[in-house]
Chains A and B, each alone.
Chain A
Amino acid sequence: MPPTPPKAPIDRRGFLKATGAAAAFLAALAADPEKTLQAIPTAEPLQAGEVPGDGPNADVLIRMQGDVRRALKKAPADRRWVMVIDLRKCVGCHACTIACVAENKLPPGVVYRPVLEEELGTYPTVTRRFMPRPCMQCDNPPCTPVCPVNATYKNEEGVTVVDYDQCIGCRACLTACPYGARTSDFGYTYTEGTPVADGLIVGQAAADDYERAANYEYGRAWDRHEHGSPIGNARKCHFCLHRVKNGMLPECVTTCIGRATLFGDANDPEGVVAQFIHQPNVIRLKEELGTEPRVYYIV
């Protein structure tokens, strides 16, 4: 029988482990459990009707909400809604695309704000660029004069809108847009063709009803039943006018996880967007066409 090896004396590492564990156990016994749970401070809850604190150090979303509310006090023609997209901050998460789809209840095949991805360079000097592309809300839009029935036009705030009840669905505006910013609604739903089974929390029928329920673009209900508009119409981003007129930011702005999308009144020198659009590292797409887009990209 081989001799049993002698037991090793406790080393320095083992000593520290044992001491640390004992100290932690004693500290836990002494601590107030309620205080431990409240270690991360949270903001005081807002009262009904209360607006979060404004000021230069406030979150940019809060500041922009203030900008929007300030702009709404002006005459519509005095506002100049613009969007600024900081491409350095965009991480390509597509949250804005999805938020827009949810906000406007966009059906399959209709998209207002895709995020274009481009791979630049070759390995090892390679990078990816993400470029959200909402409607450019051009000051000289090529899409409006081609409409045979004045269904699409710039409203008094300079935002290009579509009157779904007037649109005949000729797609001349889709053809004329240099940014591919309009899509046609062919009347699909996301739930069609999905399995129908009893016992699901939300069955296909209920989900389909939800999809066909009215959305509230331009501040009124658009019912998709019976092939009603906006099915058959040209559709496009409208800077979430229905939200903006109620003092809210466009959904894509609110949702951006990197605060890469900014929105506001360019005519307000105190506003957030006014600080960016005159910087030298700002570009607009296809400037050579003279369309004067209201979407600015920080590069």
Chain B
Amino acid sequence: MLKRSLYLLGALAVLAGVYGFYSRLFIGERDVNYGSYVTWGLWVAMYLFFAGVATGAYMLATLDYLFDVPLFKGTGKYALWGALVTMPAALITIGFDLGHMERIWKVYLQPNFLSLLAQMVWGYTLFLAATLVSLWLAVRGRRDWAMKAAMSVGLFLAVFLSGGVGALLGINANRAYWHVGLLPAQFPVFSLASGTALMLILIGWIGRADDPRRPQQLAVLAIMSVVLALVKVYFLWADFSQSLYSGLPDNVRAVNLVLFGPYGWAFWGLQIVLGTAVPIVVLLQPKLARDGFWAGLMGVLILIGFGVARANIVFPALAIPELEGLVTAFSGPHLNIEYAPSLMEWSVVAGVVGLATLAYLLGTDRLPFFAVKTEVTK
């Protein structure tokens, strides 16, 4: 029943995405609300989000295939498939954000390796290759040195790319809100937390209900989620309190925008209450934490919180004009400092989420790899 609902939701999301995909591919970027001042919008935030989920899922797969943790035996394939599905989702959203996406080949053939963006494109390509190799080895049942080597490379890339996402923002010294040394260091933790939340969903909702190890797996993932949520809150506190205490105007304005701006409700309501506090409370209840439905639901809430958190990292820093009077000096389309994603942007995100959901479900249902393993588990 739950799976059917997920199929239905995935299909509806894909339908909702048709408009956005059509508009972006055949008309262009005319219907987006980001622009020349708020240069990166919802799609970049979702790219950070999906990339975090993908690299985090890969980190979780190492519990099975690299570190041989007995409790998580059999979960690695779900995590790897999750990484393989969500990384393309990240690349679609960031690809759509390019003014000339047809020129992406130039990053491969004419790259500027001093650019973090170029490094990330190459890194994601290697990561996808590592994920494919790991999955291929897993399909063949290999747990030898080849698998360990592939997973080691993949784990290194997952950590490096997670940090790189933070650095992509942090290197902009002109954006006080981003330019803190801690930012790249935070992102691998965010990725791990996102991956853990994904695994709560995958094991809680899609994994086999009759697997005797499932309650214990969920219990451990729940504890991980709680700890990581607390670390996340600590990072937030460190960032915001430092910014407000130092009083650097641009930084204070950005933090105030997050806390008390027009989308303050998203921070307090979705990111803090729904995405952090509620999961902590629920997952600390052993009975609920071991229950597949509740664990999965908390995984969804945590991911929603992370989605909002990514937006709250990207938008506010860009909503502070570089120079006083710049915004009012010249008016025109996409010369706005106030940003709210357009319907077309939301449509694309809905479509990407739908595609990723359907791809994951179809993979676990149709790929013989999952069926064979299921029987073995049985």
Contact = CB atoms under 8 A, between A and B. Distances in A.
B174 to A, nearest CB: 4
Interface in A136-151: 142, 145-150
B118 to A, nearest CB: 4
A150 B184 CA distance: 24
Given A117-B329, A186-B35, A111 B99 contact: no
Given A168-B99, A168-B103, A180 B40 contact: no
B270 to A, nearest CB: 25
Contact of A117 (B35, B100, B171, B325): B325
Interface in A217-238: 227, 229, 231-234
Main secondary structure of the interface of B (DSSP, over half): loop
A97 B330 contact: yes
Given A110-B332, A114-B329, A186-B29, 4 more contacts: A116-B325, A142-B173, A148-B118, A168-B103
B335 A109 contact: yes
B323 A180 contact: yes
Interface in B265-318: 318
Interface of B: 28-30, 35-37, 39-40, 97-101, 103-104, 106-107, 110-112, 114-118, 121, 171-175, 318, 321-326, 328-330, 332-335
Contact of B101 (A167, A168, A179): A168
Contact of A167 (B35, B99, B118, B323): B99
The list of the 9 closest CB pairs from A to B, nearest first, reads: A169-B99, A232-B99, A114-B329, A178-B174, A116-B325, A148-B118, A180-B322, A183-B36, A109-B332
A174 interface: yes
B28 A227 contact: yes
B159 to A, nearest CB: 22
Contacts of A117: 325, 328-329
Contacts of A167: 99-100, 103
A28 B129 CA distance: 95
A78 B110 CA distance: 29
10 contacts: A114-B329, A146-B116, A150-B110, A168-B100, A168-B101, A168-B103, A169-B101, A172-B115, A172-B117, A175-B318
A254 interface: no
A289 B172 CA distance: 11
Contacts of B318: 175
B178 to A, nearest CB: 9
Contact of B172 (A108, A118, A175, A231): A175
A109 B111 CA distance: 29
B29 A232 contact: yes
A274 interface: no
A104 interface: no
Given A111-B335, A149-B118, A184-B35, A118 B324 contact: yes
B36 A174 contact: yes
A150 B112 CA distance: 6
A246 interface: no
A178 B250 CA distance: 12
Nearest to B178: A175
B323 A285 contact: yes
A286 B107 CA distance: 32
Nearest to B318: A175
Given A149-B106, A176-B172, A116 B329 contact: yes
B172 A149 contact: no
A131 interface: yes
Contacts of B175: 175
Interface in A142-174: 142, 145-150, 166-172, 174
Nearest to B314: A175
Given A109-B333, A142-B174, A178-B322, A149 B100 contact: no
Contacts of B321: 180
**Chain B CB within 10 Å — which of A148, A168, A172, A182 has the most?**
A148
Given A171-B99, A183-B36, A166 B117 contact: no
A175 B329 contact: no
**Chain B CB within 10 Å — which of A116, A168, A182, A234 has the most?**
A168
A133 interface: yes
A247 interface: no
A187 B30 contact: yes
A111 B173 CA distance: 23
A285 B332 CA distance: 25
A115 interface: yes
Nearest to B103: A168
Contacts of A298: none
B320 to A, nearest CB: 11
Contacts of B112: 145, 147-150
A188 interface: yes
Given A170-B98, A183-B335, A187-B30, A116 B115 contact: no
Contact of A232 (B28, B104, B107, B116): B28
Given A111-B332, A146-B116, A168-B101, A187 B28 contact: yes
Contacts of A182: 36
